[in-house]
Structure 1
Amino acid sequence: MRILYLTLLIIISFTTSIKANEKDQTIDILKRGGNLIFIRHAYAPGGGDPENFNINNCNTQRNLNYDGKKQSVKIGKLFLSNEIPIDEVLSSNWCRCKDTAKLAFKNYKTINFLNSFFSAKFAHNRKQQMKDLKNYVKNWDGNKNLVLVTHYVVITEALGYAPSSGEIVVSDKNFNKIGSIEIEY
């Protein structure tokens, strides 16, 4: 039993060390600029949106709870404390994305190609949104980083990666994933 306990302790400390090292490497990459930074909106309990969803009414949407708001602030502090340069912050029109962007970065602008296409109601937008995203990035010539606050489905479609709520996923302009940082809530 003692050997099992020691083995578990070694495994836990080893994986924690690997995650810390990956986070430091990702932050170093971000400090250099020129990256795409996909951020899945912070924690909003549930999945999808209610039947009465209205993009112009946050009361009809799945929104950030206290933990999600706290997570959003932590995202902003990570960027600020590490002096990560940002060209601009773009957000989906969904309230949980706009709230994440506002709490983390203060200034942002909304853009349709970051909207969710998870529900059947919006699924037909997927191809055009991905085309518009790729065109935007192709024409983006910033030296800093481009922050994209969006949804699970958009990040998965663009990068082939499934992010957690509030996770920061970094890629190059060719949509090759470079690293990620999970932010606890």
Structure 2
Amino acid sequence: MSQRDQYRCRPVTNRRDPMPRIVRRGFLAAIPAVILIACTASPGWATTPDKVDPKGLILLMRHAEAPGVGDPPNFNLRDCATQRNLDANGREQARRTGDLLRRIAAGRLAAVHSSQWCRCLETARLLDVGPVQELPALNSFFERREEQEAQIATLRRFLAGLPADGAPVVLVTHQVVVTALTGVFPASAEAVLLRANGTGAPAVEGRIQVEGPE
């Protein structure tokens, strides 16, 4: 099997399968959310990383697997020991996703922005696709829902400033942010593929997910 064929979308028959999955936008509305992590067998929807145009591409990614929900009672933003952190599977997810993103970027250095939470920063660094910058607009508001509207507005202004022909941009964040911005409920390490268009609502083109071994 060639490297190109190895990364082609295909039906998922084994949830332990570590291969990347890409789903095209036209198929998203037609199937339940639980099925979205699987690829359709139809050649009309299948694609490979080599066929994804890196210009103006935005990858809005949920951090890799970090067991638990929310943040511990003693949560401290600047103390990783008080936070949920990536486990071994999550670190492997991040590395595998980085391998895929380097193929998509076709040699172009990506601009990588991350939530200030440790599990997001570690995910972003393990991707190894470009220098990581903290972006507070990507922070979690899971336990501060009153901040959601203002924060998403700030994030939309950031997105509106991204050039349509620019280098790939990777945004590592939390489920609540991805869902609020796109309506997608992502799995750990899943990314929504967006295309910069000069507005705060970039076009959604698909989703990718890479799983580490369990």
Instruction: Give the TM interval when normalised to the shorter protein.
Output: 0.7 to 0.9
**Alpha-carbon distance in 1 for matches of 2:133, 2:203:** 24
**Alpha-carbon distance in 2 for matches of 1:11, 1:145:** 27
Is 2:117–2:139's contact at 8 Å kept on the other side of the alignment?
Answer: yes
**Alpha-carbon distance in 2 for matches of 1:23, 1:89:** 27
Given the alignment of the two structures, is residue 149 of structure 1 paired with residue 177 of structure 2, yes or no? no
Query: CA shift at 1:172, angstroms?
Result: 2.5
Given the alignment of the two structures, is residue 162 of structure 1 paired with residue 189 of structure 2, yes or no? no
Name the larger-Rg structure.
1
Structure 1 gaps, min length 5: 1-9
Given the alignment of the two structures, is residue 42 of structure 1 paired with residue 69 of structure 2, yes or no? no
1:103-122, Cα deviation, whole Å (9 max, x unpaired)? 11252100100000001xx3
**Alpha-carbon distance in 2 for matches of 1:169, 1:99:** 19
Query: CA shift at 1:87, angstroms?
Result: 4.0
**Alpha-carbon distance in 2 for matches of 1:134, 1:153:** 15
Give SS of 1:178's match: strand
Query: CA shift at 1:81, angstroms?
Result: 3.5
Counterpart residue number, 1:73: 95
Given the alignment of the two structures, is residue 134 of structure 1 paired with residue 156 of structure 2, yes or no? yes
**Alpha-carbon distance in 2 for matches of 1:27, 1:163:** 23
Structure 2 gaps, min length 5: 1-10, 15-34
1:78-127, Cα deviation, whole Å (9 max, x unpaired)? 122444445410000000000000011252100100000001xx322211
Aligned equivalent of 1:57, options 60, 70, 79: 79
Judged with a 3 Å threshold, the aligned counterparts in structure 2 of structure 1 residues 91 and 20 are, in CA distance, closer, same or farther, namely farther
Counterpart residue number, 2:135: 111
Please give the TM-score of this superposition, normalised by the length of structure 1. Answer: 0.82
Is 2:137–2:155's contact at 8 Å kept on the other side of the alignment?
Answer: yes
Given the alignment of the two structures, is residue 95 of structure 1 paired with residue 122 of structure 2, yes or no? no
**Alpha-carbon distance in 2 for matches of 1:133, 1:23:** 30
Counterpart residue number, 1:5: none
Give SS of 1:101's match: helix
Judged with a 3 Å threshold, the aligned counterparts in structure 2 of structure 1 residues 114 and 26 are, in CA distance, closer, same or farther, namely same
Counterpart residue number, 1:184: 211
Is 2:50–2:103's contact at 8 Å kept on the other side of the alignment?
Answer: no
Question: What is the RMSD computed on CA atoms of the aligned residues?
Answer: 2.6
Please give the TM-score of this superposition, normalised by the length of structure 2. Answer: 0.72
Query: CA shift at 1:60, angstroms?
Result: 0.5
* Structure 2 letter corresponding to 1:42: A
1:59-94, Cα deviation, whole Å (9 max, x unpaired)? 110000010011111111112244444541000000
**Alpha-carbon distance in 1 for matches of 2:75, 2:47:** 39
**Alpha-carbon distance in 2 for matches of 1:47, 1:27:** 35
* Structure 2 letter corresponding to 1:36: I
Give SS of 1:103's match: helix
Q: Percent identity?
A: 33
**Alpha-carbon distance in 1 for matches of 2:71, 2:112:** 24
User: How many residues end up aligned between the 2 structures?
Assistant: 172
Judged with a 3 Å threshold, the aligned counterparts in structure 2 of structure 1 residues 156 and 65 are, in CA distance, closer, same or farther, namely same
